[in-house]
Amino acid sequence: MADTVLYPERELKVVGTQPVRPDGVPKVTGLAQYGADFTLPGMLWGRILRSPHAHARIRAINTKKAEALPGVKAVITAADLPEQKFDYVGPERVAINFWHMTRNILAREKVLYEGHALAAVAATSKSIAEEALKLIEVDYEVLPHVIDVDEAMQPDAPLLFEDMITRGVQPPPTKPSNVSKRIEFKLGDVDKGFAAADEIVEASYKTKPVHQGYIEPHACLARFDTDGQAEVWSSSQGHFVVRTFTSRLVGMKVGDLRCHAAEIGGAFGGKTVVYVEPIAVVLSKKSGHPVKIMMSREEVFKASGPTSGASMTIKLGVMRDGRIVAAEGIFKYQAGAFPTSPVMNGCMCSFAPYDIANVRTIGYDVVCNRPKTVAYRAPGSPISAFAAESTMDLAARRIGMDPIEFRLKNIARPGSQTVWGAKLAHAGFAETLHALQKHPGYKAPLGKNQGRGVAAGYWFNGGGESSATVHVNEDGTVVVAEGSPDIGGSRASIALMAAETLGIPYENVRPIVADTNSVGYTQATGGSRVTYATGMTVINACNKVIDEMCVRAAKLWKVERADVIWEDGHARPAGKRAGEFEPLSFKAIAAKRTATGGPITASAAMNAEGQAPGFSAQFCDVEVDPDTGYVKILRYVAAQDVGRAIHPGYCEGQIHGGVVQGIGWALNEEYIYDRNGRMENPGFLDYRIPVASDVPMIEAIMVEVPNPNHPYGVKGVAEANIVPPTATIANAVHSATGLRLTDLPMSPPKVLAALDSARKR
Amino acid sequence: MAKHHVTATLNGSPVEFLCETQQTLLEVLRDELNLTGTKEGCATGDCGACSVTVGGRLVCSCLVLGAEVEGKRIETIEGMASGTELHPLQQKFLEHAALQCGICTPGMLIAARSLLERKPDPTEEEVRYWLAGNLCRCTGYNKIVDAVLAAAGEMRRA
Ligand code: FES
Ligand code: FES
């Protein structure tokens, strides 16, 4: 269901329709090739040896026996990868340090979490590879470990890096700690704001790490030729990222590595880094055979990125009329075994939906003995939003105001100041809250043990670097080659925008995700950037094609280029030649390509700016079972400003999917560790993501406030939707029970314990 | 150790293969017979990505040994369309945008077909409970349930 189109625009013919996606049929017939589905002649199976300890020094690794096993063709350790310089590179928000990255690929001095890779083998069969792992002897000195973020920050906590001095503190601390970084954002004067407030609400929260939970484990196939050139097929959100990271980690020239984007079986941020690719390349180099590696589900849980768990405190100062006059957030995020959690995003996003004069957010990036975190859908924002939006609810209750009204009263509008300095440049937040408020269910009566909750959430959305080439075929069909791996239907949205721009039928556009040698550099699929940035790049290339089609028509008519215009998929004579010739269709010009100058093809490349932020506001109704603590979701309504829905079906799908992941985060998902720092639930049976019978139909309201910086108004839709759910549900549970749950997940035992202790009081 | 020699029927045609004792049906399909449409999401029976039918029964192929299917009739996603004609479930999954990444789709389709063979007119709740063993992390299940109900309607009319 679509709501309010605020800005009337030109009439669209193709954009906004819901055709079958171009890559659909192979995906329902089983022919689509995902990361694990490629094979090559002579291929070997690679397997990875992983640490059974949460924290240990590696005294020695002996691979002799494994190498001697018949069928084993190569065994590698960190000694087979070049050392990297210790240096943080790239923008602070997503800074990378290859010294850390290579140690995460294969451990060097120490293993830092259970599941940390430290050696790998390639063998002629899976079973031989498995056997060989057992023959690798590792001499460990087991060290004390630390899992919880608050414990990791204690002065006497076991240190992961004995020389880590907190960055961002002046003067720098003299003693090492597990705090990699402290950041602070400030706007106005919070102390003055709190002093002036009628009411002050403060609460502390904890969340657990949760896994992206894509159904396809990491997998790749690599071949390394004796001339030094290599090729990789892998399941990744960015095959250019695979190329950049793998070439650097292996120590080869970027131009010698060609990476192909396999179909990708879910990612949600978790496939923006490499795990298996460098290992497969080095095994291939050493063995002289192609090598395939597939992670098991257990490896995915133990050794690929969850997002952070956190410990947070929020303080809000409000006036009785509903105005928020001061907001403060302290966010401590687990980075996992190596620095860089998304805590900076958390600090930026937590209060971004609101116009508040005095804000301070402080973030700590903390290492601990668990897998290195990696992006997960709106990385960092859902975590801080759980704390901020739960506290918003407490504040609304304190002053007796409806939670949507309270948010509307404070909502950020174009020109509002953000805590990081920029001014909000786009509308859409208030419109989305209004759309939610108008939903008939919002005022529906509730039964016993039932409650309703509201929350909102912000995400930056992304622009960035993309490349595309449009080739016109002789029958008037076109191929669009672009560089963005397609996770959720982006080839469909790209084809829709290309067809709209060129004025040809959708079916005549064939989009492909080209390999790294066949299209220009393109950043990873992430940050809700593809339909915006790659889409805009494709539109630019299409406009160049149109210009060339006009040149060709001018040639055929023997007129000036200036006397040809493009309208409705046709070249028409214009100006002084108007009406002189019959219009030429796209197809007719394409057919004349040889006579008019040869192949018609155009490329575009850009670093797209002008993206508009995403905003989602949601309410849900829950029923809490007083006997078991089970929270049942009765109804879930999610409104989101999508800018413009290019393919409404896939747009809605993003909202449904993000909300259901958020429901899992709120109610069930968590990493559970034993005393030795070993994960106790590394499988889908015990790490329970929502199944079909756990959830109702999610009601998605697509609000369309177009982004004026994009030809079709695109804003990006994939992430804002996962920001509000945890707080939405916590706020509903509060309404149902009168209890404030501040610790995720709100699993039945925890809810029951809270109910029981309230009953005792 | 010598491999097992197994003869079975796969998507209507006779098939023979050799497999190691510990190789699962999933591994046999993917690694020995090159039918990679059946997916591995967990290999522990928890995700349903590897769903196939053996003798008409819906199973997780990661929980069945290759050596166990001697003489059995196996159906995989590759056999779901008749020639170039998609099964109504496949068609409805496409029309309803019921797949995002598509990794769960083969298993979902096989499981949904099993449901509709038993229950041509399921309720939404029955669809949700039947598919509870098939995880999808992308779609939130809305459109999958819609597609199954729509396919059921179409198959009843056919
Ligand atoms: S792979 Fe068989 S159930 Fe997951
Ligand atoms: S569509 Fe991706 S797991 Fe279902």
Cβ A653–B137 below 8 Å, yes or no? no
Weakest mean pLDDT among A46-55, A88-97, A701-710? A88-97
The verdict on the CB of residue B140 being under 6 Å from ligand 2 is no
Asked whether the beta carbons of B85 and B49 are under 8 A apart, the reply is: no
Tokens, residue B26: 């999933």
What is the domain partition of chain B in residue ranges?
A: 4-79, 88-157
Please count the residues of chain B.
158
Q: Is A686 within 8 Å of A680 (Cβ atoms)?
A: yes
Which residues in B lie closer than 8 A to residue A215 (C-beta atoms)? 39, 41, 47, 49, 101, 103-104, 135-137
CA–CA separation, A262 and A33 (whole Å): 6
H-assigned helices in A294-444: 297-303, 343-349, 381-399, 403-410, 429-437
Confidence of residue B158 (pLDDT cuts 50, 70, 90): confident
Name the residue of chain B whose CA is nearest to A699's CA.
B142
DSSP code of B65?
A: B
- Quote the percentage of chain A above a pLDDT of 90: 97
- The beta-carbon contacts of A156-161 under 8 Å, at least 24 apart in sequence, are A158/A55, A158/A369, A160/A55, A160/A110, A160/A112, A160/A337, A160/A367, A160/A368, A160/A369, A161/A367
Cβ atoms A100, A338 nearer than 8 A: yes
Atom of ligand 2 nearest to the CA of B137: 3
Burial A190-208 (b: 16+ CB within 10 A, else e): beebbeebeeebebebbbb
CATH class of A310-461+612-760: alpha beta
CA of A138 to the centre of ligand 2 (A): 38
**Residue A682: its chain B contacts at CB < 8 A?**
none
pLDDT higher than threshold 90 for residue A598 = yes
pLDDT at position A9 = 55
> Which atom of ligand 1 is closest in space to residue B46's alpha carbon?
3
Q: Does pLDDT of A3 surpass 60?
A: no
Residue A119 has pLDDT above 90, yes or no: yes
Residue from the list B90, B94, B142 with its beta carbon closest to the beta carbon of A656: B142
CATH topology of domain B88-157: DNA polymerase; domain 1 (1.10.150)
* Ligand 1 atom at minimum distance from B45 CA: 3
- Does residue A4 surpass a pLDDT of 80? no
Minimum distance, in Å, between the CA of residue A698 and any CA atom of chain B: 7
| Average pLDDT over chain A, rounded to an integer | 96
Q: Quick one: A444 exposed, middle or buried, by C-beta within 10 A (0-12, 13-18, 19+)?
A: exposed
Q: What is the mean pLDDT of residues A619-632?
A: 98
Q: Give residue-wise pLDDT tens across range A446-461.
A: 999 999 999 999 999 9
User: Half-sphere exposure (CA, 13 Å, Cβ side) for A286?
Assistant: 23
Tell me the residue ranges of DSSP E strands in A368-519: 450-459, 464-472, 478-482, 509-513
Q: Where are the domains of chain A?
A: 24-32+463-608, 35-143+212-303, 310-461+612-760
Instruction: Select from B38, B78, B101 the Cβ nearest to the Cβ of A266.
Output: B101
Average pLDDT over residues A628-645: 98
Contacts of A480 (CB under 8 A, 6+ apart): A468, A469, A470, A494, A495, A498, A509, A510, A511, A512, A538, A541
Please tell me which of the candidates A266, A649, A658 has its beta carbon nearest to residue B103. Answer: A266
Three-class secondary structure of residue A480 per DSSP: strand
Q: Indicate the residue of A18, A20, A265 with minimum beta-carbon distance to B101.
A: A265
Question: How far apart (Å, rounded) are the C-alpha atoms in residues A490 and A497?
Answer: 11
pLDDT of amino acid A10 = 65
Asked if B44 lies within 8 A of A683 by C-beta distance, the reply is yes
CB A21 within 8 A of CB A492: yes
Around ligand 1, the residues with Cβ closer than 6 Å are: B 40-43, 45-50, 60, 62
The yes-or-no verdict on residue A6 having pLDDT over 80 is no
Q: What pLDDT, in 10s, does the model give residues B80-132?
A: 999 999 999 999 999 999 999 999 999 999 999 999 999 999 999 999 999 99
Cα B67 to averaged position of ligand 1 atoms, centre (Å): 18
* Phi/psi-derived region of residue B27, left when phi > 0, alpha when psi is between -120 and 50, beta in every other case: alpha
User: Is the pTM for the entire model greater than 0.80?
Assistant: yes
Which ligand has the minimum distance to the alpha carbon of residue B45? Answer: 1
By DSSP bridging, strand A72-77 and strand A44-50 are unpaired
Cα(B120)–Cα(B108) distance, integer angstroms: 16
Cβ separation B128–A126 shorter than 8 A: no
| Ligand 2 and B136: CB distance under 6 A | yes
Q: Selecting from 3.30.365.10, 3.30.530.20, 3.40.50.300, 1.10.10.10, what CATH number does the domain A24-32+463-608 have? A: 3.30.365.10
- CA atoms lying within 13 Å on the CB side of residue A485: 33
Q: Are A217 and A501 in contact (CB under 8 A)?
A: no
Q: Choose from B92, B115, B137 for mutation: most chain A CBs within 10 A.
A: B137
Compute the average pLDDT of residues A314-320: 98
ipTM of the prediction: 0.98
Which backbone phi and psi does A673 adopt, to 5 degrees? -115, 150
**Residue written as token pair 């928890």:** B46
Q: What is the pLDDT of residue A95?
A: 87
Residues A185, A359 contacting (CB under 8 angstroms): yes
CB pairs under 8 A between A and B: 186
- DSSP secondary structure letter of residue A408: H
Q: Is the pLDDT of residue A5 over 60?
A: no
Summarised one tens digit per residue, pLDDT across range B55-91 is 999 999 999 999 999 999 999 999 999 999 999 999 9
For residue B105, the ligand closest to its alpha carbon is 2
CA dist list (Å): A387 to A194, A349, A689, A701 = 18, 12, 22, 25
Nearest chain B CA: its distance from A431 CA (Å): 25
How far apart are the CA of A311 and the centre of ligand 2, in A? 31
From the CA of B109, which ligand is nearest? 2
Fold classification of B4-79 is Ubiquitin-like (UB roll) (3.10.20)
Choosing among A18, A23, A25, A28, which should be mutated to test the B contact, i.e. which has the most B CBs within 10 A?
A: A28
Looking at residue A11, what is its pLDDT? Answer: 83
pLDDT at A309 over 60: yes
Q: Does domain A35-143+212-303 have CATH number 3.90.1170.50?
A: yes
Q: Which residues in chain B touch residue A212, judged by CB atoms under 8 angstroms apart?
A: 137
Ligand 2 atom closest to Cα of residue B99: 1
